[in-house]
Structure 1
């Protein structure tokens, strides 16, 4: 067989090259068409339009959901944030007025001596004055051990007068046996449980648990017992010597709120907020269950403890009072290894109201496409939702992470987290051009300056302590909008 002429070889190679070029172009156009088709399909989906609101309601509670994007970029982190809004119907005041059992667990260790304890007494007196005749009150105090200082009793005028004198007999002394305080409170409310009454426990501490069971696990388990009986425990850290990360975990375990007050004079406002929320409760034992679609993962829900079972994820935000609107961001992660479409999954809210159980469900699953080019990706971003997810959830989480790093003396780690956050948001905002995010990036610069300052000067330990507590508390407010008001 004679060899082919050089010209024939070159001709054949040119034809082959043209065919490959046409194939690549056709494949690229097809892939682009598929991607655009996915985006258009998602944007046209009736009732589950992920860049709009999905809504459902049952009884006094309504649920809304909206994601910050309809697409993730191939090879990227695959994170999608979905905002959940839980709203309780506005119920006429006199129709609510839920009789409340209010129990305060007061730290009376040696560090509470003097003005701290006196301001604590004053705050409790103010709380007692607000109680109605159908409400009940109890006080547990703890130092080396705990005791039931004021037994659970209806707030009659005679009882209030007696409580005033009992408050004066409280003195500060000894260590901090928080576990015993929780045990006595649990036993006290267990003997007087009534499903038609709201129960609210307020734990106060100005220091570190150092007697009894001082382990984090033991204290969290004790706090969680209250929520199992549909009783709410909130936690208040006073001053600068307590463990803010533990106290916030106790509040989460008890499905209540966490507060940081540097001066005990701030306790009166905390008590009023907790009491008003309790007596205006219209939905209790609220739990939210996420059923993520195939290959989709629930990464985080505003820092709440997550219960994972049989592919479902549940978190418990506590109660809802009349007219309350609570907002949290759910972070999902979808696979980005190949072009595909994914369902985020159904969402169900269960709660109790008026002694009955209710459920609110968003059954139709929102969908997200994994796309291969940035044009399609940015076309799928809901700018309004995205910028709020940045300044509320992403920045709130950053402040929590940085607060812990600063608290533990890890400046380089704190600054590395800040830098990574800044780079990510700058990259996104280069395309999306959000004024809100631009302003947030200025705040990030200020946050970094505060980190640097907290590691300078003779009082740097004090500055780091205050920085950590302030930023950790503010971060929770940002990530859980409406949880306290």
Structure 2
């Protein structure tokens, strides 16, 4: 094939134009290259031509995963905060239409507080609810019963709930008597040890709680769970929250879970929340002990429908972007990376976790989020799904451009679940500490900031939240500081725990996980 050359008689003007075009391309290349160097890794020049993607999918896998930004641009000179929502959905069927195993056998160990403060209705209702649980479990399930006060008693190891063992379990339940102090740490350790022993028999492999990071999952078609119950403060044995959470975390690394239940108004709700988060389970607040039976049924139903356990999020951040919060979960940081454990998910349900990030806004830039992975255990194997396409956040000079970049649906959900949940947790702490001014100041700041942002988005649901729910929260705070000093103390205990629990459920999106 012959090449086509320009005719020798081409005009001088045309040749001059071609030289100018070539020079312009060279100059454009130099400018772009210099800008790329100036912004460094993970950042590129930002302008009206920048492509900012608010949503991204993950590679294919058993779970349906999605990621979305609440906004794609932040203003230069602003605080640079933006939110990344990660949504998990566990279908009832596998991709090839095989039915998911939604009725797994369960290994359940109940660790019950039998200290002196449990005397009366609490221990009676707990025993009655345990008796109902024994009647509900099938012969495929195993139940172990541990109680703690000053010391720990193993009433039964995890045994199959056959007709013969059902009677033994019922007798063990009725022999539990309250009295003594609260050695919560020994109770938790013993409960986990009971689970470890039965797991070793099934899996024919050693299991250690000393250092489980990176350990392979232990094969089992069963769901394994500890339910820890307490109505008071840990005052014997191991009492450090970090050490107690460490026990629960090491169990979660094996694919098991730890749920924590606070009864009444005198337990440490922050310790129980920490245990549930570290253990990949759920924190429950039972103001009235009559709710024990519903709690056990709820936990059993969830355990039988587990689709994935030990879900964790790993993210590497570009230079100029930092991770500040993750829906209240503990963040483990390493260099430019961060990870968090978010627990399990039941078949047919969905959960959304909000990551709060901050971008450097000292100058215009575009940051690329392209290293995000979700790992979990399913059907005896560790699964891993990664972000299939990058997400981009730009720092722009035009503030109105930044305000116009909100993704209304994603922002609305973030406000109603994450922001409002965090407000309730902040208010709960202030109420528990007897600081009305701090609680009211937090509500005022939330109302002002959210109303200002909503001017750009125009969400009716967010406006309703400000007009109705926030006003109700304000009234609840006012009520807890009314009456005599004795009445106020009781009201503040109740309001603090109730509001904190509501905030926890919102931020961890646990209510959606139970649908």
TM above 0.5 = yes
CA–CA distance in structure 2, aligned partners of residues 360 and 173 of structure 1 = 49
CA–CA distance in structure 2, aligned partners of residues 128 and 456 of structure 1 = 44
CA–CA distance in structure 2, aligned partners of residues 394 and 95 of structure 1 = 35
Unaligned runs of 5+ in 1: 1-32, 43-48
Whether 1:35 aligns to 2:47 is yes
| Helix, strand or coil at the partner of 1:328 | strand
Q: Report what 1:463 is aligned to.
A: 491
Are 2:57 and 2:389, in contact at CA under 8 Å, matched by a contact in 1?
Answer: no
CA–CA distance in structure 2, aligned partners of residues 179 and 84 of structure 1 = 33
Q: Report what 1:306 is aligned to.
A: 331
CA change 1:61–1:70 in 2 (3 A) is: same
Q: Report what 1:426 is aligned to.
A: 451
Whether 1:109 aligns to 2:115 is yes
1:156 is aligned, of 157, 162, 167, to: 162
Whether 1:77 aligns to 2:79 is yes
Q: Report what 1:21 is aligned to.
A: none
2:193 is aligned, of 178, 187, 198, to: 187
Q: Report what 2:64 is aligned to.
A: 62
CA–CA distance in structure 2, aligned partners of residues 126 and 72 of structure 1 = 55
Q: Report what 1:447 is aligned to.
A: 473
1:455 CA drift (Å): 1.8
CA deviation vs aligned residue, 1:164-210 (integer Å, no higher than 9, x gap):
11211111111111011012112211212143122110000111111
CA change 1:104–1:409 in 2 (3 A) is: same
2:395 is aligned, of 370, 380, 392, to: 370
Q: Report what 1:388 is aligned to.
A: 413
Whether 1:257 aligns to 2:282 is yes
Q: Report what 2:354 is aligned to.
A: 329
1:231 CA drift (Å): 1.3
1:57 CA drift (Å): 4.6
| Helix, strand or coil at the partner of 1:192 | helix
Are 2:70 and 2:408, in contact at CA under 8 Å, matched by a contact in 1?
Answer: yes
Are 1:306 and 1:313, in contact at CA under 8 Å, matched by a contact in 2?
Answer: yes
| Helix, strand or coil at the partner of 1:37 | coil
CA–CA distance in structure 2, aligned partners of residues 198 and 434 of structure 1 = 41
1:371 CA drift (Å): 1.5
1:133 is aligned, of 134, 139, 142, to: 139
Are 1:454 and 1:467, in contact at CA under 8 Å, matched by a contact in 2?
Answer: yes
Are 2:59 and 2:387, in contact at CA under 8 Å, matched by a contact in 1?
Answer: no
CA–CA distance in structure 1, aligned partners of residues 243 and 258 of structure 2 = 15
Are 2:122 and 2:289, in contact at CA under 8 Å, matched by a contact in 1?
Answer: yes
1:34 CA drift (Å): 6.0
1:284 CA drift (Å): 2.0
CA–CA distance in structure 1, aligned partners of residues 315 and 132 of structure 2 = 41
Range with greater deviation from structure 2 (113-122 or 432-441): 432-441
Q: Report what 1:268 is aligned to.
A: 293
CA deviation vs aligned residue, 1:98-145 (integer Å, no higher than 9, x gap):
221100000111111121111111111121122121211101001111
CA–CA distance in structure 2, aligned partners of residues 228 and 385 of structure 1 = 31
1:189-208 correspondence runs (5 A): 189-193=195-199, 194=203, 195-196=219-220, 197-208=222-233
C-alpha RMSD of the superposition: 1.8
CA–CA distance in structure 2, aligned partners of residues 384 and 115 of structure 1 = 46
1:154 CA drift (Å): 0.8
CA–CA distance in structure 1, aligned partners of residues 400 and 335 of structure 2 = 37
Q: Report what 1:95 is aligned to.
A: 101
CA–CA distance in structure 1, aligned partners of residues 370 and 502 of structure 2 = 31
CA–CA distance in structure 2, aligned partners of residues 58 and 363 of structure 1 = 9
Any runs of at least 4 consecutive aligned residues in structure 1 with deviations exceeding 3 A, and if so which? 91-96
Are 2:59 and 2:388, in contact at CA under 8 Å, matched by a contact in 1?
Answer: no
CA–CA distance in structure 2, aligned partners of residues 225 and 182 of structure 1 = 12
Are 1:140 and 1:181, in contact at CA under 8 Å, matched by a contact in 2?
Answer: yes
Instruction: Give the TM-score normalised by structure 2.
Output: 0.83
| Helix, strand or coil at the partner of 2:47 | helix
2:500 is aligned, of 465, 472, 482, to: 472
1:228-247 correspondence runs (5 A): 228-247=253-272
Whether 1:437 aligns to 2:462 is yes
Range with greater deviation from structure 2 (359-368 or 64-73): 359-368
CA–CA distance in structure 2, aligned partners of residues 216 and 358 of structure 1 = 30
1:338 is aligned, of 345, 360, 363, to: 363
CA–CA distance in structure 1, aligned partners of residues 60 and 159 of structure 2 = 35
1:411 CA drift (Å): 1.9
1:246 CA drift (Å): 1.0
Unaligned runs of 5+ in 2: 1-44, 204-218
1:94 CA drift (Å): 7.9
Are 1:287 and 1:351, in contact at CA under 8 Å, matched by a contact in 2?
Answer: yes
Are 2:58 and 2:388, in contact at CA under 8 Å, matched by a contact in 1?
Answer: no
Q: Number of residue pairs matched? A: 443
